[in-house]
């Protein structure tokens, strides 16, 4: 997956890349490796949230504060990011829900969905990914 992300980045040097996908698919690993190899900035919303909350792990934080407050923390982390060219942003598993609220600032944002074969057979993960891609496509088409 790193090779594909790098190819998309090289073909679109004026775009920020946003990696979305189900929990555990490798968004952080792929984003960090691709950014390192390309010399891009890399942000991970889960890392930002953890750092802003006494370094609690995401599962610990989620279980401590609950779904609603966690989503608010996630939204604040997204709002703090700069969607500039030559930036790769790995979203947490649920962060893509903010696409419809215009959280992505900037016209040149490419959303890349990562998934594994395991997730293809998980109906709920597949539906969430499909909805996220539809929202991203709609947003990108409207902005251009």
**What CATH number does the domain containing 119 carry?**
3.40.50.300
What pLDDT, in 10s, does the model give residues 20-43?
887 888 899 999 999 999 999 999
Residue pair 21/27 in contact (Cβ under 8 Å)? The answer is: yes
- pLDDT, residue 24, reads 83
Output the pTM of the full model.
0.77
DSSP 8-state secondary structure symbol assigned to residue 95: G
Sole residue written with tokens 């073909």 = 11
Using 50 as the pLDDT threshold, list the residues of the chain that sit under it.
101, 138-144
Total of domains in the chain: 1
Three-class DSSP category at 112: strand
């Amino acid at each position: 997956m790193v090779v594909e992300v790098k190819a998309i980045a090289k073909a679109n040097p004026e775009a920020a890349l946003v990696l979305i996908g189900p929990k555990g698919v490798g968004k952080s690993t792929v984003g960090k490796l691709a950014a390192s190899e390309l010399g891009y900035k890399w942000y991970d919303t889960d890392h930002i949230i953890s750092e802003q909350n006494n370094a609690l792990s995401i599962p610990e934080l989620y279980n401590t504060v609950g779904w609603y407050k966690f989503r608010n923390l996630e939204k604040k982390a997204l709002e703090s990011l700069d969607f500039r060219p030559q930036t790769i942003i790995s979203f947490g598993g649920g962060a893509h829900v903010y696409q419809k609220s215009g959280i992505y600032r900037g016209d040149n944002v490419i959303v890349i969905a990562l998934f594994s074969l395991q997730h293809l057979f998980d109906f709920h993960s597949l539906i969430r990914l499909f909805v996220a891609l539809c929202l991203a496509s709609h947003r990108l088409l409207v902005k251009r």
